[in-house]
Amino acid sequence: MGAGRAVSRPPGFGTLVESMSGYAARTGFADREPALPPTALADMVAGLYGAMAVLVALREVEIKGGRGQVIDLPLLDPLFSFIATEAAIYRLTGEVRELTGSRSETTSPRNVFRTKDGRYIGISASIQAMAERLFRAIGHEDMLADPRFRTNTDRVRNAEACEAPIVEFIGARTLAENMGVFERAEVTAAPVYDIDQFMADPHVIAREILVDLPDTDMGQLPMHNVIPRLSATPGRLRLPAPDLGEHTAEVLGALGLDRAAIDELARDGIIGLAGGMP
């Protein structure tokens, strides 16, 4: 099977990778500093690549036999693959592109818009028919005849002017009012959820995307469910991650150490036991 080779690295190393990969330089707005992702994105992306690599290595052994192979998987390569087209664009144009925020460089209108009650809506009218629906929904069917907005290429070139009536329309209405209009018009629009909205969404609740697990401090700890879910072996979460040292005594006991030896290791500070000394 595939094998990993552990290499020590300093805390926050993923942040360095997110900076050096070029990912942060493509995230944010032109008039502000680049934006680092608020999660351990480099680690997560590499983990997904790693899981697939293990499956490929296992399949190789199943088909051809052998002893398996070492999987060479750093953090930098996987994250760069998410923006790999930047290299070809730079080679072709010789220019470093400016940041565009939530606006697309290939389709318009596509952006995030603030509602009257301080929420946000994301809209992507990436095909001609959707742009036409959107303009009609906000009462600006006349934009369809305007040469600045007639085609997607025209709209991309005039993105700010194209979005101006959308900003005005959405800003004059609450999130619920806007979504009512867009749902009736079948426009590809969705709320930009804060976590409170996500947790209250009927779809999220019905799919059990979040599950509550017992926790000594919180009573119930919400966690994301198993992803993906297989039809025959969907799996389930039974317990949250253990406390630091929670299973130390159990593991060392299975390796042959008696309780006295384990307690001595704990007193000497060599190991830690959850809850301290018994």
Q: What is the pLDDT of residues 124-178, one digit of tens each?
A: 998 999 999 999 999 999 999 999 999 999 999 999 999 999 999 999 999 999 9
- DSSP for the chain, please give it: --B-------TTHHHHHHHHTSTGGGSS-TTS-----SS-HHHHHHHHHHHHHHHHHHHHHHHH-SS--B----SHHHHHHTTTHHHHHHHHH--PPPP-TT--SSSSSEEEEE-TTS-EEEEE--SHHHHHHHHHHTT-GGGGG-TTTSSHHHHHHTHHHHHHHHHHHHHTS-HHHHHHHHHHHT--EEE---HHHHHH-HHHHHHT-EEEEEETTTEEEEEE--SS--SS------S-PPPTTTTHHHHHHHTT--HHHHHHHHHTTSS--TTS--
Contact 211, 222 (CB under 8 A): yes
> Residue 97 is encoded by which pair of tokens?
């592109």
Asked if residue 245 has pLDDT above 80, the reply is yes
pLDDT of residue 4: 43
Higher pLDDT, 245 or 204: 204
| From 43, 77, 146, 212, active-site residue | 43
Rounded Cα distance between 60 and 93, Å, is 41
Q: What is the pTM of this model?
A: 0.77
Contact 18, 78 (CB under 8 A): no
Asked if residue 241 has pLDDT above 90, the reply is no
**110-192: CATH number:** 3.30.1540.10
Of the pLDDT bands very low, low, confident and very high (cuts 50, 70, 90), residue 5 is: very low
Of the pLDDT bands very low, low, confident and very high (cuts 50, 70, 90), residue 11 is: low
Q: What is the mean pLDDT of residues 98-105?
A: 90
Asked if residue 271 has pLDDT above 50, the reply is yes
pLDDT of residue 167: 98
pLDDT of residue 278: 44
Please list the residues that pair with 124 across neighbouring strands. Answer: 110
How confident is the model over 178-212, as pLDDT tens digits? Answer: 999 999 999 999 999 999 999 999 999 999 999 99
Beta strands in 126-242 (DSSP E): 189-191, 210-215, 219-224
Hey, where are the domains in the chain?
A: 13-93, 110-192
Asked if residue 276 has pLDDT above 70, the reply is no
pLDDT of residue 55: 95
Asked if residue 7 has pLDDT above 80, the reply is no
- Spatial strand order of the sheet with 120-124 comes to 110-114, 120-124, 189-191
Asked if residue 80 has pLDDT above 80, the reply is yes
pLDDT of residue 176: 96
How confident is the model over 24-78, as pLDDT tens digits? Answer: 999 989 899 998 888 899 999 999 999 999 999 999 999 998 888 999 999 999 9
pLDDT of residue 275: 58
Taking the CA atoms of residue 230, residue 235, residue 240 and residue 241 in that order, the dihedral angle to the nearest 10 degrees is: -80
pLDDT mean across residues, the chain? 90
Q: Is 217 known to be catalytic?
A: no
Question: Which element (helix H / strand E) includes 265?
Answer: helix 259-267
